[in-house]
Amino acid sequence: MNPQTDRLTGIEFRPAREHERLRFSVAEMKGFSGHFLPQEGELEYRKIDDPMNHTVCAFDGDDIVGTTLWEPYELTVPGGKSDFFGVTGVTVAPTHTRRGILREMMRRLLIDGRDAGYPIAGLWASESNIYGRFGFGISGETILSKLDVRHGRFRAMPKVTGEIRFADVATMEKVAPVVWNRTAEKTVGMMLRTKADWDWIYDRRRIPGFGRRRAFCVVYREGDEALGYAAYRIEHKMEAMHSYNAVRVIELIAATTAADAALWRFLLDIDLAGEVIHHHPKKSNLLWLLADPRKFSFEPYDSLWVRILDPIKALTGRKYSAAGQVVIRLIDEFCPWTQGNYELRVDSHGMATCEETGQDPDVTLPVASLGAIYMGAHYLADLQRAGRVTEHKSGTVAQIDTMFPTSGVHSFLPEF
């Protein structure tokens, strides 16, 4: 008897069907401890274009007790962009946890990703102790920052020639994607958004059970050219007639230094506000703009987790910072099809070729470690110090650390 499969006796794994869309959302929300309130227009929570055949669910009789969903995305990676198998909607009903339902759904989901030809999968995790065992590696961090606006003085204000105006949704629909795509060209880790993704920002889609998310939007322009925007909400706080509103920045995207500084200045100077809260890239311009940066509370957390599905496609799908040649043995117990020895050759332009090889490896990496360095935000030497790499040929880790990491901004913001 196999205790692993025994615990799953009576559980059926299959995609939800189109007529089960509503039940999928109810089950998903219950898994996240939310209530589903269709009467408040929350039926649009799941994108209309999320096909139910992209789901892997667990059924106990008629009940959906496990949900997963993948969405096709494009993600900016060093030197370009990559198809990205975005995993989301992962829940198991509290009545059915810890008997292997997630493990089985994830196994099936990643096979779907491989069969659909994706080089990498990824997700944003609710807890950081779940996904390492399935071969996902922490590929980047995001910062949750809070700043008491009394400490928001800048060391020096960059020259700003543009101005900021409120924008309605119709304006944002024209402006924001242009600014976003322009910023994404020089930023690793940004998703290229669809219309449905933008609807999150404009409150057209709401997260059931978690209330309304009415946002303000402002655009920074120089002449007719939009160079940045911010979307934010105000959380009202008042004690004894003193207002300490919190300005919660949903996102601030700026294509230039002046746009970035002007938008930050605007957010820090909103009357009746006590603090500004924002999730932003690890390399924040705000840190360097502030006169007293220690007052900036700075809480990093793991954000984008990457999982390699096809090593050759993944390794040749990005550019590198230096030339080099290395043989990597990849260990992957959860998705054994990726296992093997891979020879990676990078030319002086940072372009790679890669093939499976019979040569002895220079280094052995668990697949999660390759995921962790894939986006160029981490050094392999740091993983080596934690025992997550085995170096066979001395100097290989140092060589990989000249090739994989990329300077510049990495922006790992939750998107789905």
Ligand X SMILES: CC(C)(COP(=O)(O)OP(=O)(O)OC[C@H]1O[C@@H](n2cnc3c(N)ncnc32)[C@H](O)[C@@H]1OP(=O)(O)O)[C@@H](O)C(=O)NCCC(=O)NCCS
Interface with ligand X (CB under 6 A): 31-32, 90-92, 97-103, 125-127, 129-130, 133
Q: Record the tokens describing residue 11, joined without a space.
A: 């559980």
CB of 368 to ligand X, least distance (A): 14
CB of 28 to ligand X, least distance (A): 9
Q: Write out 159-213 in H/E/C secondary structure.
A: CCCCEEEECCHHHHHHHHHHHHHHHHCCEECCECCCHHHHHHHCCCCCCCCCCCC
Strands 80-92 and 225-235: unpaired
CB of 209 to ligand X, least distance (A): 13
CB of 95 to ligand X, least distance (A): 11
CB nearer to ligand X: pick between 102 and 143: 102
CB of 388 to ligand X, least distance (A): 18
Q: Which of 158, 159, 157, 177 is nearest to 167 (CA)?
A: 177
Cβ atoms < 10 Å from Cβ of 274: 14
CB nearer to ligand X: pick between 99 and 233: 99
CB nearer to ligand X: pick between 92 and 312: 92
Q: Record the tokens describing residue 9, joined without a space.
A: 């006796």
CA dist., res. 410 & res. 142, Å (int): 9
CB of 133 to ligand X, least distance (A): 5
Identify how many contiguous H helices and E strands the chain contains and give both numbers: 11, 23
CB nearer to ligand X: pick between 39 and 129: 129
CB nearer to ligand X: pick between 92 and 261: 92
Q: Which of 105, 111, 25, 98 is nearest to 59 (CA)?
A: 105
Write the CB contacts of 196 (distance below 8 Å, at least 6 apart in sequence). Answer: 47, 48, 49, 205
CB nearer to ligand X: pick between 81 and 96: 96
CB of 124 to ligand X, least distance (A): 7
CB nearer to ligand X: pick between 31 and 371: 31
DSSP for residue 386: T
